[in-house]
Structures are given as C-alpha cells and as structure tokens.
Structure 1
Amino acid sequence: MTDSGEADVSAPKSEIVRSLASGLDVLEAFTPAEPRLTLAEVARKSAMSRATARRMLLTLVERGYAYTDGRTFELTPRVLSLGHGYWSGRSWHELLQPSLRDVSARLNESCSAAILTGDDVMYVSRVHTRSIMRIDLGLGTRLPAFATSMGRVLLSDLPDAELLPRLQEMSRSAFTSHTRTDPQALLETIRAARNDGCALVDQELEMGLRSAGVPVRDDRGKIVLAINTSMAAGVESLEETKKRVIPALKDCASQVETMVRSLGKDLDSLASASR
C-alpha cells in the first residue's frame, strides 16, 4: 500500500502470495472437457509438485469447493460463489460495459444496449465513440421501438397475433421521409428481423443515421435485451454494413449471454429491475 492508502500494483514478486496463486492454478486445471482429475493430473496441469497439489486440493475439499472419491477430484457448484457477492449486485450498465467496449473497439463505432419498456426501448448501457445523432443518448434514454434496430429486435420476440395489434395501437410518427409507419409493413420488417436474427434501420429515426441490432436471449430463448451499433449512413451499402457489423454484434451478444448465465443471473429479472 502507498502512503495514500492506494494499492501499489507494481508490487515486487516477493509480496505475491504464492499459496493463493497455487490454489488458483489448481482451480484453473479443471475444465468442462476434464471435470474430474487425479492428484497426478492436477499436479501436471498446474506445474507444481504432487505434495503442493495435494495440499491445495485437500483445502478445497475441506472448504466445500471440491469433492473427492478418494482417487479423483472434481469441483463443486460452490466455486460459482467466488466473486458472486461483487458481481451479483452489478447493474446492466456495469455488467455490459466490458463486452460493449470490446465490440465498440472492434467496429470503431458507438455501441449500446437496451431493453423493451412499453412501446419504447430504454438504454441501459452505452459506449460512445463519436456523436452522430442530434440527441444525447444516455442511460435511461427512451426511443420508439418501431423505428429503431434494437426495438425491432426486441419486438420480434412477440408472436404475430400479439405483435400486429400492438403495432396498430402504438404511436408511429414519421421522423424522416424513410420512416416506416404502416403496421403491416412494420410487421413484415420485424418478421425479417426475427428470421435473420438482426435488424438494420437506415435513416428512419434520423437522417444520416444507420443502426444495426441483435438480440440477447435468456436460457429459455426469450429475448430480453438488444445490442446495437450506429454509424453514418451512405458510407457503405446496407449489405456491406450487415457483413461488417452483424458478426461482431452476435459475438458480443453470445459473450453477454454466457457471462450473465455464469454469474447465475436471471436476464429477465435483471431487465425488469432496470425498468
């Protein structure tokens, strides 16, 4: 620690707790492909002596993080609680920031995440690179779902029998000359988003603005979140935009799904809590 009470991240190796490092090495030796290991296998994979590996494994067993039948060892579900106290209280914004930063850097575009609330999408996380829209998009900002890529992705989870009446009843103002406002045309567009697993919106919300969105699903397959990126329209064709950004957005969505499930979070409950 420094005099100011801050941690010195450049601490010498002599201050590293070797036993803690060894314990972490043992935990990392277990993988989905090799969930059950012998003492010799753990020692080999962790690059440590059998005596050290044995002490680490017995400590994990005693603390309930591992189980042994006398010959092999395997981790117990209790390992999922490591760090859970910190992450379980994180908001959507905090949880999504690392993934959004990665995809934003990959695309060199602003990226956002939103949930569906009523007839609007509400922004719950955002990584900003440069200003394209006239309005400032911050956490809690709401935009009409029918005219946004994230909104169309989120609406695509509704069955047609529910979707069409909802489109007919919601306010559908024309923001530009490109805005689709006809309920039947919107239904076809949202159906296409459902089939494609993505939505592109070109200058329907604001002239000069194009956006692309993809869904994030919970473990039941329900869409509870959408991720998008926005860029200037006209720089490339719609097909070029789709080829450039959709794979990256889908990779990001997959990371988010895996991350949230590994933390034991219920995506639908987290989305509801953000409303």
Structure 2
Amino acid sequence: MAAYETALEDDDEVRDRDYVGSFARGLEVIKVFNRHTPRRTLSEVAEASGMTRATVRRFLLTLVREGYAETDGKYFNLKPKILEIGFSALSSMNIWDIAQPIMNALSANVQESCFAAVLDGDSVIYVARATSNRIMNVGISIGSRTPAHCVSTGRVLLAALPDAEFHSYLEKAKLHKFTPNTVTSKVKLRELVEETRLRGWSIVDQELEISLRSISVPIRDRDGKVVAALNVCCPAERVTPQDINSRILSAMLEASKDITRALQA
C-alpha cells in the first residue's frame, strides 16, 4: 500500500511539473471577452478573471504585441487573429466537414440561420454556421461564446451531462439575467434541463435577447454520444412558437439524424 501511495504522489508531482500555470491564466484572460462584453478595461478583466491588475496587464499587453488583441489605451478587445487558435482545433474535427452541407440544406429548408455549438464550462461556443438567403440573418459568428443557462444549445448540452457533472455546473454557475424572460432560478433551470433530457430538444424564447427565439436538438456521434447541439435561431416577429414546434423541429430532428448517419458511413 505504501508503494502504491508513493506512486500516486509521484504521478501528482509529474502532473504539477507539466502544468504551466501562466499559460492557463492567459487562457482565462482570453475567455473573459465574449459576445456581450467584447471590450473591457484592465480593471474589468482583472475582476472577471480573479487576477491582479498587474498580472492581467502583462497578459493583455502580450496579446496586443502578438496581434491577438488591441487597445485604445483604456479598453481592450480581441482581434480576428484569435480565431486562428480555434480554427486549428476545428479543422482537425472532421465532424464539421460532414455536418456543414447538412446544415446548409437545413438552413435553406427552414429559411433561418443554423448553428452548431459545443459546451465549454458554463458557456457554449458556436463552432459551425449556415445562413439562409434572407437579407437579414442572426448575427452569431463562429467562435462566439454565450452563457449556457439561457440558450437552447446550452440546455441540450447540459442535459447530456452525467448527473454529477450537471450538479457541479449548477453549484458553480452564476445565472445572470439578460432579459425579463431569462431563467435565473437554479431549481427552475434544473427542471428545464430535465425536461430537455426527456423530450430530446429545447426551445428558448427571448432569454438571451429580446426578439430572438431558438430551438436546439442534440448531434450524436456514431456511438450515440452527444457531441454538439444543432441550433436554429429565429426573429420572434417572424417565427411563432407554433412554427418552431412543427415545421422547424421536424426538419432539425431529421438533419441531426442525417449527420449521425453520415458519421457512421
């Protein structure tokens, strides 16, 4: 037993030596910038990341020097070059090569913007998109990050988590209110996620933005594991909940099955 405990301690020491804390903190600084707070002051980044101003300043100025961020002297924001990091990862995932033409067909069918998203901590990241031929499309870009609790993609992905992981998410999550419709009760959110798990899809009505409705269904790999959420976003003035429940939902479920079938080919 003593030898076993020593081996465990040695493994922990190796992991600690292999862990680059400064790199991890730098990634946390990048994640502070999102769709709702694309520009932040040094103090705001420090508060959001839980780091000192001096530490954050070094990370931000490094990002600026390397071309991943810019500043006007007061505010900092990320530059498009930051997407190269995400695109490098996405290009290695052939699921999106398979999913993209199916998403294009879905968007053309329902005449609305279509997206795919994955879960990252307490947020979702949009990793693929398809737009319709309408003049006005929902302005979500690849790489955009939104809080999981108030979007349909988030609820589908949270519903796919093992119970222990979902419980951990609920304990740590800060459910910010973005509109009068945003669910901020953890009890209510648990109920909605359980409902999503049972029926296999989620509709969210104007919880992130007023006038924006969305529906999401899971995308499964060849083993049946949920790997992403397929999403259609609709302007509320153009698409009613009844339209979403009937016309759009059926098309999305079929598209999700098509992606899974293509992955198995």
TM-score scaled to structure 1, two decimals?
A: 0.58
Change (3 A) 1:234 1:261: same
Using the TM superposition, give the Cα deviation of residue 120 of structure 1 relative to its aligned residue in structure 2, in angstroms.
Answer: 1.2
Q: Which consecutive residues of structure 2, in runs of 5 or more, have no partner in the other structure? A: 1-90
Match status 1:230 vs 2:233? yes
Distance 1:163 1:131 in 2: 36
Residue deviations 1:197-256 (CA, integer Å, cap 9, x gap): 100000001000000000011233321111010111144542332111111111111111
Aligned to 2:144: 141
Using the TM superposition, give the Cα deviation of residue 121 of structure 1 relative to its aligned residue in structure 2, in angstroms.
Answer: 1.1
Q: 2:117 aligns with which of 100, 114, 119?
A: 114
Q: Alignment partner of 2:157: what SS?
A: helix
Distance 2:131 2:197 in 1: 27
Using the TM superposition, give the Cα deviation of residue 184 of structure 1 relative to its aligned residue in structure 2, in angstroms.
Answer: 0.8
Aligned to 2:191: 188
Using the TM superposition, give the Cα deviation of residue 90 of structure 1 relative to its aligned residue in structure 2, in angstroms.
Answer: 6.1
Using the TM superposition, give the Cα deviation of residue 96 of structure 1 relative to its aligned residue in structure 2, in angstroms.
Answer: 1.9
- The answer to whether the Cα contact below 8 Å between 1:132 and 1:209 also exists between their aligned partners in 2 is no
Aligned to 1:157: 160
Q: Which structure is higher in helix share?
A: 2
Distance 1:201 1:260 in 2: 28
Aligned to 1:244: 247
Distance 1:193 1:202 in 2: 14
Change (3 A) 1:238 1:146: same
Match status 1:198 vs 2:201? yes
Q: 1:94 aligns with which of 94, 97, 108?
A: 97
Aligned to 1:79: none
Of all paired residues, the percent bearing the same amino acid is: 36
Q: Alignment partner of 1:175: what SS?
A: coil
Distance 2:115 2:239 in 1: 21
- Cα root mean square deviation, aligned: 2.0
Aligned to 1:208: 211
Larger Rg: 1
Distance 1:172 1:259 in 2: 36
Distance 1:132 1:190 in 2: 28
Aligned to 2:169: 166
Instruction: Spell out the pairing of 1:11-26 with structure 2 (5 A cutoff).
Output: none
Code of the residue aligned with 2:251 in structure 1: it is A
TM-score scaled to structure 2, two decimals?
A: 0.60
Q: Alignment partner of 1:245: what SS?
A: helix
Distance 2:205 2:170 in 1: 19
Distance 1:196 1:257 in 2: 18
Query: Aligned residues, how many?
Result: 173
